[in-house]
Each structure stands twice: as C-alpha cells, then as structure tokens.
Amino acid sequence: MTRPDFLAAAEGEPASRFYDIIVVGSGIAGLTAAVGAARHFKVALISKSVLRDTTTFLAQGGIAAALSEQDSPELHMEDTIRAGAGLCDEEAVRILVNEGPERVRELMEICPKFDRSGGDLVLASEGAHSVPRIAHAGGDATGSEVVSALAQAMRQGSRVQVLEHEFVVDLLTDGGRCVGTVSLNLRSGEFTLNFASAVVLATGGCGQVYSLTTNPAVATGDGMAMAFRAGATVSDMEFVQFHPTGLYSDESPIFLITEALRGEGAYLLNHAGERFMLGVHPQAELGPRDVVVKEMVRHMQGAGQEFLYLDATHLDCQMLRERFPNVYDTLRERGYDLCKDRIPVAPVCHYMIGGVKTDVWGRSTLPGLYASGEVSSTGVHGANRLASNSLLEGLVFSDRIVRDLDRYVASLGERARPSQVQLPQPRGDGNRPSQLAENRRRLQKTMTAEVGIVRRDAGLLRAIREINALSASLEPPGASLEEYELFNLLGIAGQIARAARLRHESRGSHLREDFPARDDAAWRRHINFSVRNKEDGGPAERGEPGGGNR
C-alpha cells in the first residue's frame, strides 16, 4: 500500500499526476538533474519558491576543478582529502575530481559568462587549495549566472514541467521503494500525489536551523527530513560548516563575504590589528575553514568580542570593484567602504556536510530515491568541505544520477501503477502561527548557543531536551508551510545535536571543547541514523557508526 508519512489529512482524495522522474529543488544539483533526465524521460521539477530562491543563486564563490596546466585531478584530490580531516570517501573524491573538469566545461557551453582575461579562463585562489583553480562567472555572482543559464537551458525545448511555489511535504513509498511525492500548492492550498519511477532530492541544506546563517529562508532541511521519515539513512549530521567571513550583523540571512577576497590578499585581523593566522597555518588566511574558524573563535573569546575584521584596504580599489562588484556594492549599502574600512566579520553557519547517505551514483539506501548536492552525504567532503567543491559536487553527481536513471527505470519494466494510497485521518486544526514562530525562534537560538561552532556535552544535552520539549508542545501539523518547515527543522536539529553528542572528539567542522583532540583510533568513522522496521511501525530512530569508507 502506498503511503506518505507526514501528510495532513486533505478533504477528499488529492489529485494525481504521473511522471517518469521527479526532481525536488532548483539549485545547481536539481537543474542539472532535470536538464539531463529530460533527454529521455518526462520530468517534473518542483520548487517550494521560485527557481532563483536557492543557496546556489546566492553563491559568490565559484566552482573548483583542475582546469589549468599547473593543476591536476590528483592535486585537487590531495587538497580535498587533506581538508576533509580523515573522513573523505576516496572513491567519491576521485570521481569528483576526475569527472569535474569535463562537467565544468559542459557548463561553460551553457553559461558563457565565466570570467576570462585575453581569452583565458581566470582561476582564483581560495582556502586550502594549493593552486588557483576556482572558476567564477560574473565576478562574485557565479551562483546567479549558473542558475540563470541552467534554467534557460531547461526551459528551451525540454520535457520538464516546472512547478514553482509547490512544497513537497513527503515522499510516497510502496513495497520498500520510493514511488513519488506529496506536494502542497502554496497558492491554492491543495495537495497533489505525484507518482514517478524515481525521485531526485536536490533540496539543499538546513541553515535555517540556526539563527545566524548565510542560507536563504527556504533552507529548512526538508529533503533530509522527508528522506529519513521514508526510511533512507542520513549520515554525518554533526558536521555543519561555519564560514569564516559572514558580515557581522543581525540580518537574516547573513551576507557572506566570499573567500575569494582572501584569495586576492585580504587579511584577517584581531582587535589589536594583528594578522592572527600567521604562524597558525602555512596558508595563513587561506587555511582550511575549520582551522580558520577555530582560531577566530579563540581570538574573539580572548577579546570578549563577537567579531573580528577583514581588511582589504591595502589592495587595489579598482580591482576590488571589478572583481567583487556584489561584495563592494552590498557593503556600501550597509555603510562600509571595502577600499577604506576594516569590515567586521564572524563565523556563520554556511553549509551542511551531512545529509542523505548515497553511493557514488547518488543512490540513497531507499530504492528509487536519489540525492545530490547539499542534501546528500556522498563522502566527498569528509568532516570539512574544501571551498568551492559544493557546486562541483552538484554538477558531477547529478550527472551520474542521470546516467543511473536509465538503468534503474529499465529494471522496473513497465511503469508501476500505484496501489491504494493510505491517507492519514484528520488531526485537528494544527498549530497557531504565533506558536510556530516562537518555537522556531527558540529552536534557532538554542542551536546557535549550544550546537554551534564549539560544543560541549552539557550544552548538547540542554539542546536535545529543548528540542524534545518544543516538539512535544506542538499538535500534529495541519496544512501550512510554516508547520511543515518547523517539524522538519526540529527533526534535523535533533539529529545534529545527537550526532554531535555521540562523537567524542574534535574533527573538521565538529569542535568539542570537552574532547579537543582528534581520535582516529575510535572515531575515524561515520555516524548514521535510520528508521528501524519502518513498515512495521518499529522504533523511530537508531544511530550507528559507519565504516571509514562508505
């Protein structure tokens, strides 16, 4: 019997739609999957907002790939594994760096606005890269240029039905495999059952679980949460990457100041005006993000301050304006002159390394369900993502998913027709908007304070208790976006906190004050969460260590 896990009861049976492939999410991973799958299949791309409202669209950093004669996939692999602090899956990394250059060249044919000088591609330096290998489009507007180009390619003569302002509430499962989704039209309030041979999750991360994040408001961990409910394994949830240079402010989302600015020579300064990264790492300000963030925290705590400074005043102003137009103009709107002022910055939640566990073809542990991009946990990032590998991951693994879809769909034979759909009984009127807003605020405040950059057991335990209390205070969800997002955030927050409490060491982006050392003997492994005996309604969750290689 086909059933969702989380759907509020609808009046009457929802309408049904039928596709070959459903892609959920419209960043670089989702658009790449949709464009590729549409060559052979009838595809639906579902986005809870509009195509440009994604983390990809906001990305200032570029795409890392071995594109120059001075570079090589082997060197890119060494840098990635070194940054990943012992937890990278080497097979996945090898695929990323070897297939990446060709995928980026294909993207350049679609998006002609990659930066060039005299006909040659301009490659920039970023943290923990041993050579310049970051390709940018439109200076510091790579994300928006790439999304716009891919969206245009998708709309031109493709077989993709684009469904914007439609929120995927849950996955449909039948006989132990994924057979579609349930979606809520945010304009009409109507539910729809969307059936397909396979579903590709490309829903991005969960930055909104924190009060201070660079992620857009749509980043509420929906894909991770629904995949877990449907029976897929999630992995490495304790590894949340904090970017060193978010503009210090109370806005949401926080404005990110691209790492490429430090690649051009900008300094990080403490309140005494000193370059504190000198002597800490051979690459100074361009060390791995976890190393830079850890040192920033030490200096902020020592000064009793919540921020430090980014200083580009010694660099050529004309270069700054031309190379970083978005950063320059945005800072000017906020009262800062990049050419003259030291800019207050602080580490801020930026990227979810963990997610839906997949193999190197993007296949989750639930047949018929694939995941790509930030929602996934492929193993390429280990415990700390190398700068600008995120867009590359979406390109490479979405392409591999498209190739595997031919095999998977062929293995099914004729398209399976759904059996009877079991819909839940009415659950009441849901929760008051004011309570939803307050619970979300409390959750974000708790996660920032207790499960943020530096963690300790007592704080993690407080966070788990608060998350449980917030969940218990709510009625089952009604039929509103705000309710579904909050329930998803609470589920993901609980997994982050529990995984962080289980890992008794500091590794990569996971820093434990009470376990400051890295412990390869005991903890060079992954922490996985999964539903046990889902079909029989057994225990809701289990955590287990995974092997060092996935």
Q: How far apart are CA 479 and CA 8, in angstroms?
A: 6
Q: Are residues 254 and 276 in the same domain?
A: yes
Spans of the chain below 50 pLDDT: 1, 533, 535-540
Q: Are residues 204 and 156 in the same domain?
A: yes
- The total number of residues shown for the chain amounts to 550
Which residue has 């819909």 as its token pair?
423
User: Which residue spans within 255-316 are E strands per DSSP?
Assistant: 267-269, 308-311
∠ CA 365-369-375, nearest 5°, is 85
| Ramachandran assignment for 509, one of left (phi > 0), alpha (psi -120 to 50 degrees), beta (any other) | alpha
Which residue has 């040192």 as its token pair?
295
Q: Are residues 333 and 211 in the same domain?
A: no
CB 66 within 8 A of CB 123: no
- Residue 2 placed within a domain: no
Q: Are residues 262 and 392 in the same domain?
A: no
- Residue 419 placed within a domain: no
CB 440 within 8 A of CB 213: no
What does the pLDDT read at residue 251? 85
Q: Are residues 263 and 361 in the same domain?
A: no
Q: Are residues 291 and 178 in the same domain?
A: no
321, 348, 375 - which closes a domain: 348
Domain carrying residue 443? 433-526
Eight-class DSSP state of 264: T
The domain that contains 437 carries what CATH number? 1.20.58.100
Q: How far apart are CA 92 and CA 527, in angstroms?
A: 18
Q: Are residues 385 and 342 in the same domain?
A: no
365, 381, 411 - which closes a domain: 411
Q: Are residues 216 and 338 in the same domain?
A: no
Q: Is the pTM of this model over 0.85?
A: yes
Q: How far apart are CA 153 and CA 33, in angstroms?
A: 12
Total number of domains in the chain: 3
Q: How far is CA 135 from CA 139, 175, 195, 327, 522, in A?
A: 9, 44, 38, 17, 38
Q: How far apart are CA 55 and CA 53, in angstroms?
A: 7
User: Which residue spans within 186-239 are E strands per DSSP?
Assistant: 191-195, 198-201, 234-235
- Residue 452 placed within a domain: yes
Residues taking part in catalysis: 289
Q: For residue 115, which amino acid is it?
A: D
Q: How far apart are CA 164 and CA 341, in angstroms?
A: 41
- Residue 29 placed within a domain: yes
Q: Are residues 215 and 265 in the same domain?
A: no
Q: Are residues 109 and 176 in the same domain?
A: yes
Q: How far apart are the first and last CA of the chain?
A: 32
Q: How far apart are CA 342 and CA 344, in angstroms?
A: 7
The domain that contains 283 carries what CATH number? 3.90.700.10
Give the DSSP letter string of 350-405. EEE--EEE--TTSB-SSTTEEE-GGGEE-SSSTTSPPTTHHHHHHHHHHHHHHHHH
Q: Are residues 213 and 256 in the same domain?
A: no
The domain that contains 399 carries what CATH number? 3.50.50.60
Q: What confidence tens digit (pLDDT) does each residue in 187-225 have?
A: 998 999 999 999 999 999 999 999 999 999 999 999 999
What does the pLDDT read at residue 447? 97
- Residue 232 placed within a domain: yes
Q: Are residues 104 and 212 in the same domain?
A: yes
Q: Is 507 exposed, middle or buried (0-12, 13-18, 19+ CB in 10 A)?
A: buried
- Residue 21 placed within a domain: yes
- Residue 30 placed within a domain: yes
What does the pLDDT read at residue 424? 61
What does the pLDDT read at residue 120? 87
What does the pLDDT read at residue 295? 95
What does the pLDDT read at residue 50? 79
- Residue 86 placed within a domain: yes
Q: How far is CA 127 from CA 280, 283, 288, 293, 543, in A?
A: 14, 8, 6, 12, 33
